[in-house]
Structures are given as structure tokens and as C-alpha cells.
Amino acid sequence: ISKLQEGDKTVWAKFLFSLKDQHDFQAFKLLSPFADKLLIAVNYGCGFVNFHGELEPLIASIIRDGKGWKTYDADDYVVALDKPDTENAEVFWVKCGILG
């Protein structure tokens, strides 16, 4: 807990993405050094990649709230967003895959 209190970003990243409940995730995120950031967890497997975190709710809200379309009916969409500021993005390594 002391590393969380100290604001260690790697420890916060690991902690936040260990939470299974979205409500808990959002509540603790507000206390974290990432309160004003969009957080996306990336899991690179063997031949696939999974993203989770705040990306899915963001995209769903753009489709659902912005357009009024369904996000549960096996429809496909393309969402175009302005490019983010990748130059100032922070990345935290949180877990080793197969070799570790």
C-alpha cells in the first residue's frame, strides 16, 4: 500500500488492472496518478492482442450516445478519432508473458 500512497505509477497500473469490477476501477482511478488519463491495458499473446480498460466504454459511448446505434447486436462499426498525443504517452510494463 505504501507504493500506492507514494504514487508509484507502475504499482498503480498493476493495481487498477487487477480490479475486476468497473465501478471499483473508476473509483480507485480517481485516487491514482492517472485520474485525468484514458487507461488501456494491452495483452500481447501469441498471434493476438487484447485491449481492455477504458477503451471499450469510450468507443461504446461514441456509438451509442453519439449516434444512437446498438452496441449489442453483432453490428460492426468503424470509429475515426483524432490522433492522440503519442509523444507524451506513458507506458508501464506490468507483467511478463510466456518467458517470465
In this prediction the pTM is: 0.77
Task: Taking residues 8-12, report their average pLDDT.
Answer: 93
Question: In this predicted structure, what is the pLDDT of residue 29?
Answer: 94
- DSSP character string of 14-56: HHHTT---HHHHHHHHTTSTTTTS--EEEEE-SS-EEEEESHH
Rg of the chain (C-alpha set): 16
Q: What is the pLDDT of residues 35-86, one digit of tens each?
A: 999 999 888 888 888 888 888 889 989 999 888 898 888 888 888 888 888 8
What pLDDT is stored for residue 98 in this prediction?
66
DSSP assigned state of 94: -
Give the pLDDT band (50/70/90) at residue 100. Answer: low
